[in-house]
Amino acid sequence: MIKAGIIGSTGYAGGELVRLLKQRDDVEIIWYGSRSYIDQPYASVYQNMYEIADDICRDDDMARLAEEADVIFTATPQGLCASLVSEDVLSRAKVIDLSADFRIKDVGVYEEWYKIRHASPQLIGEAVYGLPELYRNEIASARLIANPGCYPTCSTLAVYPLAKEGLIDADTLIIDAKSGVSGAGRGAKVDNLFCEVNENCKAYGVAGHRHTPEIEEQIGYAAGRPVVLSFTPHLIPMNRGILVTAYAKLTRDISYEEMKEVYDRYYGKERFVRVLPKDVCPQTRWVEGSNYVDVNFKIDKRTGRVIMMGAMDNLVKGAAGQAVQNMNLLFGLPEDAGLKQVPMFP
């Protein structure tokens, strides 16, 4: 039995972690951390958990948690995990950080985009970027996992094979992303009220969203050199789901079949990446509630560009599901343990 603690269990990503872990027999949640709801029953915050998770929310106490837990998930605002984690903690428990604190290797880039002083830069080098499809082996032996951002997960998986194979000019890469509202969190803000979001579509963070350097870093590894790209997220009136539409110039003429073979080579054996049939566009509804990422591409001969697409549930593969996938790797379990949910439709 794996003992798991969650710091930040009452945000949407934390709630999704609880949902996923509560369906397992081999994991026990021993700590429902929540600064906002200390001493309140977890099920009073998330009534779906009534009779399922009848525990009480507790304050953050990373040191004590490290003693009691085998794995600690931090689903907390930027900066908090970095301020709580330490060599001592890591010597006792695995840490999977769902925030951005350890995703970016260059601490200067992190501090510039997040406007936060990093509290434990000495641990950045050790942290492993928790995208199993790219870093499966490194994850298995890590102590500290930087669970990827939602947009970066979907963007990177959609674009990676073509960038890695040199089939696209990474300098022309434009990523236009669309996200459901759960990505904005559960904070009480006018901007996220039903009437403000419903029947509406808008871009935000234009030319400045903080997931940009994270995507650039991963695509840069694929391209073998630093990459600067355009990334624009949009808010869509739906609860869950991210859709990525990415554009880039092709470096050479290429057929559908050849490009399909590239994607299949990278993802054919991946449990959670589905390369769709020709001309079938990814849709968020087809992955909802599951850990899948659906990807596909369309070659546009007229413009010499390829359009790469990806769809994903932002709370599962984009957050909690990927964290569980990483936990499975850390503990030598089948990668899909507890992640066999069939996408729910409608």
Q: Please list every residue from 327 through 346 that binds a copy of itself, using CB under 8 A.
A: 340-346
First to last CA, the chain: 34
- The region of 80-88, 130-138, 168-176, 257-265 touching a copy of itself under the rule CB under 8 A is 168-176
User: Quick check: helix, strand or coil at residue 3?
Assistant: strand
In the bound complex, what is the minimum distance in angstroms from residue 333's beta carbon to a copy of itself? 17
In the bound complex, what is the minimum distance in angstroms from residue 270's beta carbon to a copy of itself? 10
Nearer residue to a copy of itself within complex by CB, 252 or 302? 302
Binding mask 50-79 for a copy of itself (x = CB under 8 A): xxx---------------------------
DSSP state of 199: T
Of the candidate residues 8, 12, 89, 150, the single one contacting a copy of itself (CB under 8 A): 12
Nearer residue to a copy of itself within complex by CB, 117 or 189? 189
125-164 binders of a copy of itself (CB under 8 A) = none
298-317 binders of a copy of itself (CB under 8 A) = 298-300, 302-303, 305, 307, 309, 311
What sign does the CA torsion over 309, 210, 218, 324 have?
negative
Q: Are 270 and 133 in contact (CB under 8 A)?
A: yes
Q: Are 1 and 26 in contact (CB under 8 A)?
A: yes
- The region of 68-76, 103-111, 172-180, 320-328 touching a copy of itself under the rule CB under 8 A is 172-180
In the bound complex, what is the minimum distance in angstroms from residue 24's beta carbon to a copy of itself? 10
Structure tokens at 225: 């050199």
Of the candidate residues 254, 289, 331, 335, the single one contacting a copy of itself (CB under 8 A): 289
213-272 binders of a copy of itself (CB under 8 A) = 228-230, 232, 234, 236-241, 243, 245, 247
What sign does the CA torsion over 85, 126, 101, 43 have?
negative
Nearer residue to a copy of itself within complex by CB, 149 or 180? 180
Half-sphere exposure of 43 (CA within 13 A, CB side): 9
Residue spans of beta strands (DSSP E) within 34-87: 57-58, 71-74
150 is catalytic: yes
Kindly give the residue spans of alpha helices, DSSP state H, lying in 22-61: 42-45
| Cα gap 28→31, rounded to integer Å | 9
Structure tokens at 274: 């589905």
Give, for 220, the enclosing helix (H) or strand (E): helix 212-223
Task: Assess 210 for contact with a copy of itself (CB under 8 A).
Answer: no
The catalytic residues are 150
